[in-house]
Structure 1
């Protein structure tokens, strides 16, 4: 059915609170991992089962968001085009031409590419 303004504001507030919770759980976990790795003891971070469950739930939650799925799909599409449809070759040629210009002032000739 329809929502009145108060219900809409409450739903928005709940969504924002949930988003903040997800953000906090994920960023806290990443900070713990970086800190443990820097200290040379990353194994200990994986022993906290409750923190792992919270992190898994937050990651699952964020993975169901439409914008996240769209971002993943976009990355996969760009990577596929780059690898399978000439993007990597174009990048290699551009880098070779840039290096040639830096060394001798001219781009690679057709025979060199």
Structure 2
């Protein structure tokens, strides 16, 4: 946190970045901008039919489906569903449903949140 110990970010002020394709957007929020080991929150939106290749993250995370649906491998998750994933667990592909999808992902710590394609060698930090 900075300043007074809290930040207020209004919907119109969210800075969206482009994901791995133009149909994927994300916004990142680090709990403590001075501590890369603090939790990282990511809002992601996906256009209908987007596919995210199989991958993993080094950090544990919690994912909540806000709207729409996504299939992770053979399992479909809809609005209100939750995934809790231990760091290093591989999964995918992720296929977005016909209405698109919006998710909130909370990584236990920002370090280790980066997406790694399946089979990619770890690099020294």
Relative contact order (C-alpha < 8 Å, sep 6+): which is higher?
2
Q: Max radius of gyration: which structure?
A: 1
Quick check: which one's helix share is greater? 1
TM-score (norm 1): 0.20
Quick check: which one's strand share is greater? 2
TM-score (norm 2): 0.19
